[in-house]
Structure formats: C-alpha cells, structure tokens
Amino acid sequence: MLPDFLNSGTGPFLESSLTKMQGIKPKRGYPTMAVSKFLHFYNPSLFPIYDSEAIWEGVFMGRFRNDFREFCRTADIPYEAVIQQGTATFLRAYMDWASSLLSFAHGSFMQVFVEWLEGQPGVGLRQRTFDAATLYATAFEFTAIGATAAP
C-alpha cells in the first residue's frame, strides 16, 4: 500500500520495472501518464495517477513545488533530475512523496476520504466489492488536486 511504499525498500525494484514499461505507449519520451493510469487501475491502493495538467502544472509546479523540492532534499533525491517528468525516476519520486505524506496523515484521513467519496454522485460504494478505505493512491491524488484549488 502507498503509505508503506517509501520505507518498504522496493523503490529501486519498482523503478526498474517502471522503466521496462516504456513501450506501453510508444512516444518520444517516457509515457508517465499512460504508465501511471495503467498501474492505478491495476492497484489503486498503491499507484496514484499522474496527469500533466492537474498534477504537473497544479501540484508540482503550482501549490506544492517547494514542498516537493524539500521532500527531495531531505530524502536525498536529486530534485533537478527528478523534475524531468518524462522518466521512471520521476514516477517513483512521485510515489515516494505521496507515501511520505500518507504515512504522516491523520488517523482518520481515509475514513474522511471514504465518507466524501460515498457522497459523490454515482459512486455507490455499498455495491462495490472492494474496501474503499484501501484506495490510498486515489485519496492522495484527489486531496493533492483539491488542495491546488484552495485559496
């Protein structure tokens, strides 16, 4: 699960696997958005979706630029290399950052997320066969995107 990812020791292995997924959508650089979307639907408790407009522009270059830079500094991640968004290294750093934030989230963070999600039109969580309280990556990305719109 995403809250445990940063301290799991699996980051280098995952980054290697992410690199091998470059062919999932042939393009000039690394298909960060395609890989993240594919993996998110494979495991929404671990893989957040990356989107150029919402995440790159709003989260990384907007509201949380300094927070992410500070995270990279304290985690000994080379910020300048990582912000080149067309790499598997960037996608891993995005997951590392999300993991670090979720690992310090308030104990009721997921409960609040599930209650909010239940109130969204057409969701129907009671008819679903999964536990929405395990959708850590979804909760992270919705929270990060929502925070970019806050005053």
Question: In the structure encoding, which two tokens stand for residue 2, read together?
Answer: 């995403």
pLDDT digits 0-9 by tens, 36-77: 888 988 888 898 888 877 788 888 787 888 888 899 898 888
User: Which is nearest to 1 in space by CA: 93, 104, 119, 137?
Assistant: 137
* Average pLDDT rounded to a whole number, residues 85-107: 86
Pick 130 or 119 by higher pLDDT. 119
What secondary structure letter does DSSP report for 134?
Answer: G
Please give the tally of structural domains in the chain: 1
Distances from the Cα of 17 to the Cα of 20, 60, 79, angstroms: 5, 24, 21
* Average pLDDT rounded to a whole number, residues 106-129: 82
Domain span at residue 86 reads 2-149
Model pTM score: 0.84
8 A C-beta contact, residue 59 and residue 50: no
> At 85, is the secondary structure helix, strand, or coil?
coil
